[in-house]
């Protein structure tokens, strides 16, 4: 082939390939601009409702509520977009993008899902929780920079007390008691906070290849390990049990099993959900936990399963994730 | 003005068309691969909702296996005398994996498989590509040829994240659009390779010249043995970008959001210095330039271990670090090329690259352990001592190589 012909061939095929790329970008852009469902005033205060983040195409990322008892029915949608959302006692937390790529923000929400304050976050939002009083917000973000353990992940978990202004920038700053002994290591990571009250919480701590359930005390600035292989704890409304994901055979590579830990006996009960659930579960009521299950790259559904290991999982809210029971 | 004649002709000699074509392929391919690198953590965590632990597992799949593939790819390319074909398979594999990432959906095993295949493609193509550069360039201007190639390569790496940002902005944060654009761009790279890179096939060598015993016999040649030993030793003193930036960030208390900018600073220096350092290597000798590069790396470690702070430190560290890359990455290949017989050149380059990559794996693990034991500052000080030792021994080893490898100096 002559140089001229090769150049012509290269140019025309390049045009075709770039054309295909541009066409895909345009189509993808329009997909995101699908006619949005009308936003309405959404009551996120205490009541018989479940708050969630929608993953339906026309309302992707929008926060809404459904009535308890008819979760698959009519949904009320706000105009608010979040990656992760949670609310309790009339206060909400919304983790959402802030500018391009790796910058995010924490938005503090009132009972009407209006943003009352924002704080910058560096890292990808992963978990969000609010204390039962509505005063303390906790978040977990994923940070890619810390490659001290051979390019593996790193998380930052922090808390903000809206009532007092007190903050814990990173749980890594608290002193650690592991198996009764003071412990220090460079590879400690925390994620998945769940609150007892404004001062006390549970969370996951990982170090030296193991993941622990820790109980923390903000006033004492300390955390202590309680059990091994407990991730993303979620405390039951009566504060006696913890729902969590247990890594199969201790290895997250093999997937997880939703499990409930009784805090007085430390007995573990695997739940009837046998799919691997990679989410921080939330309590629907004292007897039921709910959690997101992925169905594709963007779609997700919220499922519910009895907390005592019986029964079968049921689809609770289609096209939704990040559920929070607004309850009391 | 009594400059050596060779030096003067070097500066006016044009870089071979094949080198420019390979540079263009690398530029386009790096735009494609860095687009994906920039958004992969976001896609896996925020897009697919995988937990950080799973991301760590997938990311940790970067193993010694792909390092060994360089050696395998090199030998196969020499054996079949088809360096372009093997490089093309490597580039093609990486291109198709961009689409495979999309097709894998949320399946962790498939995502992992696609990422491993992408890295295997990179392992496969590197040695044949560098062999093509050495075979199409007269040995006295190899430094310049590699300098031009690496500068083009880095320019692509620089542009990749920006293109990814533009695609995300234009598509309403659609990660799948980034993968599709990245795949199309990678295919354009393969196209340029197929149409514009010429393989150097030459007359078929006697059947025994490219065989496993012949490849093993490379190690019986003293200069090659010395060079490989020096490359492995120097590889042992490198700890990886992540660690360097992390130490810098800790020392300066930089917000994590600045992390990507540290890499930008290094790339810019690399990009600017690659061609001048390549020219310098052709003039004063390649071994001194490579050693100078590792001396710059040692200076980076000493600065990080000294506890000095301030914006000046950040700039000095990034400048030295980019300079280290510019003085070593391509120049080492330019040093190795003429030492290796043409029919086994890809195998030889693959051997040196594999030796370096494995040494780097070992040093990363050791550095991680040292970090656990002594904290970051203690670990970097220990590395500085190690780097001073390896640099000294490597300098002695490379003295015997210089006379053979460098036409000038």
**Chain B 87-106, residues with CB within 8 Å of chain A CB atoms:** 105-106
Instruction: Report how many Cβ contacts below 8 Å link chain A to chain B.
Output: 163
Which residues of chain A are within 8 Å of residue B259 when distances are taken between CB atoms? 144-145
Locate A205 and state its tokens.
């701590």
Question: Measured between CB atoms, which of B42, B173, B184 is closest to A17?
Answer: B184
Q: Give the pLDDT score at B204.
A: 66
Calpha distance A125→A97 (Å, rounded): 9
- B233 and A CB contact within 8 Å: no
Average the pLDDT over A158-182 and give the result: 91
Interface contact B195-A145, CB threshold 8 A: no
Calpha distance A202→B208 (Å, rounded): 68
Q: How far is A42 from chain B (nearest CA, A)?
A: 25
pLDDT over 80 (residue A36):
no
Cα–Cα distance list, B237 to B48, B224, B228, B240, B257 (Å): 37, 20, 15, 10, 28
Interface contact B188-A297, CB threshold 8 A: no
Locate B202 and state its tokens.
């030459």
Mutation site for A-interface testing, chosen from B257, B304, B366, B377 by largest number of A Cβ within 10 Å:
B257
Query: Half-sphere exposure of A12 toward its Cβ, with a 13 Å CA cutoff?
Result: 5
Interface contact A148-B368, CB threshold 8 A: yes
Closest chain B residue to the Cα of A204, Cα to Cα:
B53
Question: Measured between CB atoms, which of A101, A147, A185 is closest to B242?
Answer: A147
Calpha distance A138→A167 (Å, rounded): 10
Interface contact A151-B59, CB threshold 8 A: yes
In percent, how much of chain A has pLDDT > 70? Answer: 93
Which residues of chain B are within 8 Å of residue A232 when distances are taken between CB atoms? 51
Locate A174 and state its tokens.
């608290």
Q: The complex's ipTM? A: 0.80
Q: How far is B91 from chain A (nearest CA, A)?
A: 16
Interface contact B245-A145, CB threshold 8 A: yes
In percent, how much of chain A has pLDDT > 90? Answer: 70
The average confidence (pLDDT) of chain A is 89
- pLDDT tens per residue, chain B (409 residues)? 344 444 444 444 678 889 999 999 999 999 999 888 878 877 776 667 666 556 655 655 555 567 788 888 999 999 888 999 999 999 999 999 999 988 888 787 888 888 888 888 988 999 999 999 999 999 899 999 999 999 999 999 889 888 988 898 888 778 889 999 999 999 999 999 999 998 876 666 666 677 888 888 888 888 999 999 999 999 999 987 777 887 887 777 666 556 667 888 899 999 999 999 999 999 999 999 999 999 999 999 999 998 777 888 899 999 999 999 999 999 999 999 999 998 899 999 999 999 988 888 888 778 877 877 787 788 899 999 999 999 999 999 998 775 554 444 3
Q: Give the pLDDT score at B53.
A: 58
Which residues of chain B are within 8 Å of residue A297 when distances are taken between CB atoms? 47-48, 105-106, 175-176
CA neighbor of A84 nearest in space, from A101, A115, A106: A106
Calpha distance B264→A259 (Å, rounded): 45
pLDDT over 50 (residue A148):
no
Interface contact B50-A278, CB threshold 8 A: yes
Please tell me the total number of residues recorded for chain A in this structure.
328
- Helix H, strand E, coil C: the string for chain A is CCHHHHHHHHHHHHHHHHHHHHHHHHHHHHHHCCCCCCCCCCCCCCCCEEEEEECCHHHCCEEEEEECCCCCCCEEEEEEECCEEEEECCEEEEEEECCCCCEEEEEEECCCCCEEEEEEEECEEEEEEECCCCCEEEEEEEECCCCCCCCCCEEEEEEEECCCCCEECCHHHCEEEECCEEECCCCCEEEEEEECCCCEEEEEEEECCEEEEEEEECCCCEEEEEEECCEEEEECCCCCEEEEEEEHHHCHHHCEEEEEEECCCCCEEECCCCCCCCCCCEEEECCEEEEEEECCCCCEEEEEEECCCCCCCEEEECCEEEEEECCC
Interface contact A185-B60, CB threshold 8 A: no
Q: pTM score > 0.80 for this model?
A: no
Interface contact B42-A123, CB threshold 8 A: no
**Chain B 196-215, residues with CB within 8 Å of chain A CB atoms:** 196
Which residues of chain A are within 8 Å of residue B371 when distances are taken between CB atoms? 148, 186
Calpha distance A115→A129 (Å, rounded): 16
Calpha distance A83→A88 (Å, rounded): 18
Q: How far is A39 from chain B (nearest CA, A)?
A: 20
Q: Give the pLDDT score at B409.
A: 37
Cα–Cα distance list, A223 to A127, A203, B244 (Å): 19, 9, 31
**Chain B 14-43, residues with CB within 8 Å of chain A CB atoms:** 38-39, 41-42
pLDDT over 90 (residue A313):
yes
Interface contact A10-B173, CB threshold 8 A: no
Which residues of chain A are within 8 Å of residue B365 when distances are taken between CB atoms? 150
Which residues of chain A are within 8 Å of residue B191 when distances are taken between CB atoms? 10, 13-14, 17
Question: Measured between CB atoms, which of A152, A231, A278 is closest to B59?
Answer: A152
Summarised one tens digit per residue, pLDDT across range A237-268 is: 999 999 999 999 988 878 899 999 999 999 99
């Amino acid at each position: 082939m002559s140089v001229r012909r090769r150049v012509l061939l290269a140019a025309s095929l390049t045009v075709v390939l770039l054309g295909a790329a541009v066409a895909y970008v345009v189509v993808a852009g329009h997909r995101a601009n699908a006619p949005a469902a009308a936003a309405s005033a959404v009551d996120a205060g205490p009541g018989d409702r479940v708050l969630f983040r929608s993953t339906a195409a026309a309302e992707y990322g929008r926060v809404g509520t459904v009535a308890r008892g008819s979760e698959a029915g009519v949904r009320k949608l706000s105009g608010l977009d979040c990656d992760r959302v949670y609310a309790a006692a009339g206060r909400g937390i919304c983790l959402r993008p802030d500018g391009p790529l790796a910058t995010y923000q924490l938005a503090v929400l009132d009972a009407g899902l209006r943003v009352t304050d924002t704080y910058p976050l560096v890292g990808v939002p992963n978990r969000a929780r609010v204390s039962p009083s509505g005063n303390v917000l906790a978040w977990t973000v994923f940070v890619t920079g810390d490659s001290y353990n051979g390019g593996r992940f790193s998380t930052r978990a922090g808390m903000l007390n809206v009532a007092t202004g007190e903050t814990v920038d990173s749980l890594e700053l608290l002193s650690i008691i592991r198996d009764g002994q003071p412990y220090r290591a460079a590879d400690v990571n925390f994620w998945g906070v769940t609150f007892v009250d404004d001062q006390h919480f549970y969370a996951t701590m990982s170090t030296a290849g193991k993941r622990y359930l820790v109980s923390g005390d903000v006033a004492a600035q300390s955390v202590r390990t309680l059990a091994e292989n407990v991730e993303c704890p979620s405390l039951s409304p009566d504060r006696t049990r913890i729902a969590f994901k247990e890594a199969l055979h201790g290895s997250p590579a093999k997937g997880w099993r939703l499990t409930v830990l009784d805090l007085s006996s430390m007995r573990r009960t695997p739940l009837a959900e046998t799919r691997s659930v990679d989410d921080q579960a939330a309590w629907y009521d004292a007897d039921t936990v709910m959690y997101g299950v992925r169905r594709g790259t963007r779609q997700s559904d919220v499922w519910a399963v009895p907390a005592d290991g019986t029964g079968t999982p049921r689809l609770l809210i289609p096209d939704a994730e990040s559920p929070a029971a607004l309850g009391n | 003005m009594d400059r050596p004649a060779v030096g003067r002709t070097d500066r006016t000699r044009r870089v071979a068309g094949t080198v420019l074509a390979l540079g263009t392929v690398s530029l386009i391919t790096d735009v494609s691969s860095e687009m994906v690198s920039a958004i992969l953590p976001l896609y896996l965590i925020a897009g697919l909702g995988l937990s950080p632990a799973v991301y760590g597992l997938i990311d940790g799949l970067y193993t010694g296996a792909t390092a060994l593939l360089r050696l395998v790819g090199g030998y196969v390319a020499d054996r079949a005398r088809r360096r372009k074909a093997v490089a093309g398979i490597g580039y093609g594999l990486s291109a198709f994996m961009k689409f495979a990432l999309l097709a894998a959906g949320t399946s962790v095993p498939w995502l992992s498989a696609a990422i491993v295949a992408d890295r295997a493609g990179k392992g496969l193509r590197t040695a044949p590509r560098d062999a093509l550069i050495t075979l199409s360039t007269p040995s006295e201007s190899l430094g310049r040829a590699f300098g031009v190639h690496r500068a083009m390569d880095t320019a692509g790496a620089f542009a990749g994240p920006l293109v990814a940002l533009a695609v995300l902005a234009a598509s309403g944060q659609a990660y799948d659009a980034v993968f599709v654009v990245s795949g199309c761009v990678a295919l354009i790279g393969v196209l340029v390779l197929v149409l514009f890179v010429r393989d150097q096939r030459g007359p078929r060598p006697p059947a025994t010249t490219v065989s496993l015993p012949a490849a093993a016999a490379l190690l019986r040649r003293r200069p090659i043995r010395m060079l490989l030993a020096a490359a492995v030793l120097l590889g042992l003193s490198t700890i990886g970008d992540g660690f360097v930036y992390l130490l810098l960030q800790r020392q300066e208390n930089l917000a994590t959001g600045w992390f990507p900018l540290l890499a930008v600073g290094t790339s810019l220096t690399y990009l600017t210095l690659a061609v001048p350092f390549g020219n310098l290597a052709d003039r004063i000798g390649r071994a001194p330039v490579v050693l100078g590069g590792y001396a710059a790396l040692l200076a980076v470690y000493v600065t990080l271990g000294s506890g000095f702070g301030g914006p000046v430190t950040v700039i000095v560290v990034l400048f030295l670090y980019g300079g280290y890359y510019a003085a070593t990455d391509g120049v080492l290949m330019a040093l190795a090329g003429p030492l290796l017989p043409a029919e086994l050149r890809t195998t030889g380059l693959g051997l040196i690259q594999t030796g370096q990559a494995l040494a780097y794996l070992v040093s990363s693990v050791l550095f991680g352990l040292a970090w656990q034991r002594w904290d970051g500052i203690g670990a970097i000080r220990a590395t500085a001592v190690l780097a001073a030792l390896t640099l000294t021994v490597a300098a002695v080893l490379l003295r015997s190589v210089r006379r053979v490898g460098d036409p000038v100096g």
